[in-house]
Structure 1
Amino acid sequence: MRLDKFLKVSRIIKRRPVAKEIADKGRILINDKVAKSSTDVAVGDKIEIRFGNRTVQLAVKNLRDSTKKEDAAEMYTTLSEEYTQKDKFI
């Protein structure tokens, strides 16, 4: 399954064009390698996404072509979530 479709179906990112844009800017890593939106995702892959000042690491548990909102969280496990503070200038 394509990365952008996985992010949308799992509801990690709500819209596929947004997932594509984030991936194509190099802000997503799969197994510690920069991933494009067309990169294939497989069960067991580790995904790291940088959202501004937040970095989320996920493990892919399941692949589905479509899901209900309640079942979307079963597609991945959150491994870690870190917040970084930006330097403040006085």
Structure 2
Amino acid sequence: MRLDKFLKVSRLIKRRTVAKEVADQGRITINERVAKCSTDVKEGDELTIRYGNKTLTVRVDKIQDSTKKSDVKEMYTILKEIPLQKEDM
């Protein structure tokens, strides 16, 4: 599954266009490699996403084309969540 679609379906990022923009800015890595929006995501991959105020690292547990809000937590496991300090921004 494409990275931008996974981020939208898993609700890590609300809209696919926003996921594409974030990936194009180089703020997403898959297994410690900078990822483009078209990069394939597979089960077991480790994603690191730099938001404006935090960095989130998750492991992909399940790939689904669509989900209900209650089923989203089955798609990934949060490994690390690091809030950014003002100096880091």
- Which residue does 1:34 correspond to in 2? 34
- Which residue does 2:86 correspond to in 1? 86
Percent same amino acid at aligned positions? 63
Counterpart amino acid of residue 81 in structure 1: E
Gaps of 5+ in 2: none
Length-normalised TM-score, structure 1 = 0.94
Larger Rg: 1
- Which residue does 2:14 correspond to in 1? 14
CA distance in 1, matches of 2:8, 2:53: 21
CA distance in 2, matches of 1:43, 1:32: 15
- Which residue does 1:57 correspond to in 2? 57
Length-normalised TM-score, structure 2 = 0.95
CA distance in 2, matches of 1:85, 1:43: 31
* Secondary structure in 1 matching 2:58: strand
| Count of aligned pairs between the two proteins | 87
CA distance in 1, matches of 2:70, 2:24: 28
Counterpart amino acid of residue 27 in structure 2: R
CA distance in 2, matches of 1:84, 1:75: 25
Pairwise CA distance, 1:53: 2.7
Instruction: Give structure 1 regions of 4+ aligned residues with deviation exceeding 3 angstroms.
Output: none
Q: Deviations over 1:36-66 (max 9, x none)?
A: 0000000000000000130000000000000
